[in-house]
Amino acid sequence: MRKLFELQPANQNRIGPDAVDEAGRYFELKSTTRDRVSTARDVGLEHLKKWRERNWIFGRGYYEGNTFRFDQTYFLSPVQLEPWFGMIEAKLTKDDALFGRVLHVLDTNGFASEECDRVQRAFRRGVLLNDPKITWGYIRIHGTEICCNHSSALRKLLEDAN
């Protein structure tokens, strides 16, 4: 996908953004052969914070031997993904009020602040989602399809967004 869109690797490992363009804009690149796209393991609020600062490119296709062929590619900006981000954030924070009540009980019953901090970290660490999927339907509805001249079409979309 980096080659198709003329993007460069953003790093030398699997941590961080998948690609960067000549203007320093970061991209998440996701491909699939199915009707949904995997995101990441152990997704928490830190993932959302990073993802909200990146552009996304999704590709769907098939394998021809060892080569992946794209049938469809879509661009989604952070704004276009915000409804999905909001849904994931709601799942991650749905127990925050309960956690607050438990911490208040601990605090008012003589637990040391260090103990309360440990419990709070354990709560936060325990609220992770395992690979929330983005459906291809969401991508088609909210995204912009790029079907030819991928690199120049992407730059045009980014230029028009600014």
CB 1 within 8 A of CB 59: yes
Query: What is residue 93's predicted lDDT score, i.e. its pLDDT?
Result: 87
Query: What is residue 15's predicted lDDT score, i.e. its pLDDT?
Result: 77
- Nearest by Cα to 132 from 36, 2, 32, 6: 36
Around Cβ 93, how many Cβ atoms within 10 Å? 12
Residue 11 predicted with pLDDT over 90: no
Query: What is residue 154's predicted lDDT score, i.e. its pLDDT?
Result: 98
> Whole-angstrom Cα distance, residue 30 to residue 73?
10
CB 20 within 8 A of CB 50: no
- What the block records as the tokens of 123 is 């709560």
Q: How confident is the model at residue 96 (pLDDT cuts 50, 70, 90)?
A: confident
User: If you search the block for the tokens 């989602």, which residue do you land on?
Assistant: 129
- What the block records as the tokens of 83 is 């409804």
Query: What is residue 36's predicted lDDT score, i.e. its pLDDT?
Result: 97
CB 17 within 8 A of CB 28: yes
- What the block records as the tokens of 119 is 């419990």
Q: Domain ranges in the chain?
A: 2-82+130-161
Around Cβ 5, how many Cβ atoms within 10 Å? 21
Residue 13 predicted with pLDDT over 80: no
Beta strands in the chain (DSSP E): 8-9, 19-20, 26-32, 36-37, 55-64, 67-76, 134-135, 144-145
pTM: 0.85
> Each residue of 21-56: pLDDT tens digit?
999 999 999 999 999 999 999 898 889 999 999 999
CATH for 2-82+130-161 is: 3.40.210.10
Q: How confident is the model at residue 160 (pLDDT cuts 50, 70, 90)?
A: confident
Query: What is residue 128's predicted lDDT score, i.e. its pLDDT?
Result: 87
> Each residue of 114-154: pLDDT tens digit?
988 888 888 877 778 999 999 999 999 999 999 999 999 99
> Each residue of 64-88: pLDDT tens digit?
999 999 999 999 999 999 999 999 9
> Whole-angstrom Cα distance, residue 27 to residue 76?
10
Q: Give kind and range of the element (H or E) at residue 82.
A: helix 78-93
